Structure 1
């Protein structure tokens, strides 16, 4: 039995959910998101929240049960609170700034790196060494943060580069004379 799938997803105040077939739509103060579940699970909306039940006892139905419940929980969290990833830039002369819909990064290359922010995500640079990625789609927020980090990953000797806030970088000792 799925311990995650057993629990219904609570709907906070201001969030509405509706099911039509295998598709669930969740509407909240930050926007609207939808998810189409596989035929292995049954979605139902009750007064206290959304419940997901497996159809049958097959292994695939049990696998989809917990995953579908988590996807619905992420929809509810996204439209009510939203998702946020914070990045830190470490290094002499490394900085970031927003210009319209473009994130301009100076990362020690001979040129500035320009990153076009996709639709559905908000990127801000409150300081020159901090970047905040926010949105209602958890997958898209994580992917944008990973794409930005990819331009200059933190290196293990001095720790220079773009890292997630609170990320631990394993440091190596340099050459010895």
Structure 2
């Protein structure tokens, strides 16, 4: 059974994650569980805080949940350079039923470790740049809805509050 993905406004999602001190079998198992949860929920990226583990670990696979050909697992990722600007529509597995345009850097360089503890550097643009920034934001306790206008955020927060007050039998994913 895949790991449960926490939903906004869960407090873990707003907390800065701790660095991974050592890559252990437990970290590798968590990464595998995160990938399974990401695929099961039709995602292309997932950060450890989204499954309740407040550590700096992300998984990304732009080939999507169907192909599963390009899984990247990044331990302690850091954006070391960013340039340009792009605006793309984003959604999030922890922010249900909401998508909107978000401005981000067009190009990023990210350094991290892989699951074998080897350093790697990723130079990214387009969707990969967006995805890396989105997932690293999660590690800093930032959601994409923290990057939208106050009006759009207030409207979304009102919906979340309404959902919280709706009895479970009446809840829909709208």
Range of TM-score over shorter length: under 0.3
Provide TM-score, normalisation by structure 2: 0.22
| Higher strand proportion (structure 1 or 2) | 1
Larger radius of gyration: 1
Provide the TM-score with structure 1 as the length reference: 0.22
